[in-house]
């Protein structure tokens, strides 16, 4: 991201900016660029303005003073919007994030339509574009059995329509970049980031789609034992939202290598270890809150990602970025934060 205009800060557009990651990103941009002109596009299908208010509070940047358009990214005339806003960078995070949505037409319409037009509008003006893809693009690659990190080229056989929608975005990206290179001899600044399992402050309004760390903490806050599928050895790459925001911003920087990258912690944490770290952070003991294991239903087993771990080698090479938050430490501090903030009023939302 390089400021091009004579304002006191960059002009930045964040789609999905009222969601969990998006609101944390907007607040960070406000903190790092106090004079920034911040634009958010969000149709609020899984979020609320309240995320933005709370994220700005947490970041200590004062009230949000930017612009919010309640539009759906798949229905926008991107040429017109990009021309009008003239951003220095675009972060495209808007997506249907409910992985249990089974209506394939709705998922593809919401997540993929309009993406090519956004790439055309930004590339034509040399505006960096960073978009959120997902570890769901991997499905169950061979690395799962061996329990080794997923290299970027192992993706493409997603287990659900959500993962497929993200895969299609990446395919559009690759196709567009190839065409653009053939026509102009230059590579468009487009970076796709496959977020792994993101956790951290600001995800409460995701409901059943919030992280396992959040779900377990809520159970314990309600006085119940944390519940996990037996035997708790299922493991994921758990990445703190602060790292996700840092890497997403890094993707917009001048000099990075455009392409698709993994964005995880690079480490693997079993669900049993997630429960232990969150419980510890909340100041609770194992004897009071032992894990209550139950059998995974058969219909879930077939599509379940039993193991994910990001191979972060290319991310380090192409974006000069590597994770800063150790997942266990991050989970402990998140548990602490959830326990501390449980009694404080949140901003009321719909
Ligand atoms: N949180 C994770 O663990 C995770 C993992 C992998 C990928 N991602 C990706 O990261 C991005 C942010 O996810 P999140 O966790 O913050 O979820 P979220 O649901 O909180 O945020 C998504 C935001 O996009 C908005 N939105 C959805 N469809 C839209 C559309 N067509 N037009 C405009 N706005 C729309 C929603 O209202 C919401 O504010 C998404 O693209 C998601 O697929 C997240």
Q: Whose CA is nearest to atom 26 of ligand 1?
A: 94
Asked about 206 being catalytic, the answer comes back as yes
Which of the two residues, 349 and 132, has the higher pLDDT score?
A: 132
Write out pLDDT tens, residues 149-159. 999 999 999 99
Ligand 1 neighbour 19 (Cβ under 6 A) = yes
The CATH superfamily of 11-201+239-265+310-324 is NAD(P)-binding Rossmann-like Domain (3.40.50.720)
Q: Whose CA is nearest to atom 7 of ligand 1?
A: 134
Ligand 1 neighbour 197 (Cβ under 6 A) = yes
Write out pLDDT tens, residues 62-86. 999 999 999 999 999 999 999 999 9
Asked about 224 being catalytic, the answer comes back as no
Q: Whose CA is nearest to atom 37 of ligand 1?
A: 44
Write out pLDDT tens, residues 263-303. 999 999 999 999 999 999 999 999 999 999 999 998 888 77
Write out pLDDT tens, residues 216-259. 999 999 999 999 999 999 999 999 999 999 999 999 999 999 99
Ligand 1 neighbour 43 (Cβ under 6 A) = yes
| Residue 291 preceded by cis peptide, ω within 30 | no
Ligand 1 neighbour 191 (Cβ under 6 A) = no
Is the pLDDT score of 346 beyond 90?
no
């Amino acid at each position: 991201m390089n400021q091009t205009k004579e304002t006191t800060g960059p002009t930045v557009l964040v789609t999905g900016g009222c969601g969990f990651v998006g609101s944390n990103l907007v607040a960070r941009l406000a903190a790092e660029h106090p004079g920034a002109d911040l634009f958010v596009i969000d149709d609020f299908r899984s979020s609320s303005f309240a995320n933005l208010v709370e994220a700005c509070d947490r970041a200590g940047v004062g009230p949000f003073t930017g612009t919010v358009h309640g539009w759906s990214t798949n229905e926008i005339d991107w040429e017109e919007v990009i021309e009008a806003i003239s951003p220095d960078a675009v972060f495209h995070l808007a997506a249907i994030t409910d992985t249990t949505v089974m209506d394939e037409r709705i998922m593809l319409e919401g997540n993929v339509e309009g993406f090519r037009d956004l790439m055309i509008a930004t590339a034509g003006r040399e505006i960096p574009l960073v978009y959120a893809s997902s570890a769901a693009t991997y499905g169950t690659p061979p690395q799962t059995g061996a329990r080794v990190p997923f290299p970027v080229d192992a993706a493409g056989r997603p287990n659900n329509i959500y993962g497929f929608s993200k895969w299609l975005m990446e395919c559009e990206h690759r196709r567009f970049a190839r065409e653009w290179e053939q026509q102009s001899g230059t590579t468009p600044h487009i970076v796709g980031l496959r977020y792994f399992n993101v956790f951290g402050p600001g995800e409460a309004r995701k409901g059943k789609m919030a992280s396992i760390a959040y779900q377990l903490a809520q159970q314990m806050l309600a006085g119940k034992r944390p519940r996990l599928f037996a035997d708790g050895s299922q493991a994921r790459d758990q990445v703190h939202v602060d790292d996700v925001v840092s890497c997403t911003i890094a993707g917009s920087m001048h000099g990075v290598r455009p392409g698709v990258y993994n964005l995880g912690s690079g480490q693997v944490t079993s669900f049993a270890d997630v429960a232990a770290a969150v419980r510890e952070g909340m100041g609770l003991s194992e004897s009071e809150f032992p894990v209550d294991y139950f059998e995974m239903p058969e219909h879930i087993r077939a599509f379940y990602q039993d193991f994910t771990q990001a191979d972060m080698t290319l991310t380090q090479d192409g974006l000069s970025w590597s994770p800063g938050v150790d997942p266990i430490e991050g989970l402990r501090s998140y548990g602490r934060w959830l326990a501390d903030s449980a009694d404080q009023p949140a901003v009321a939302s719909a």
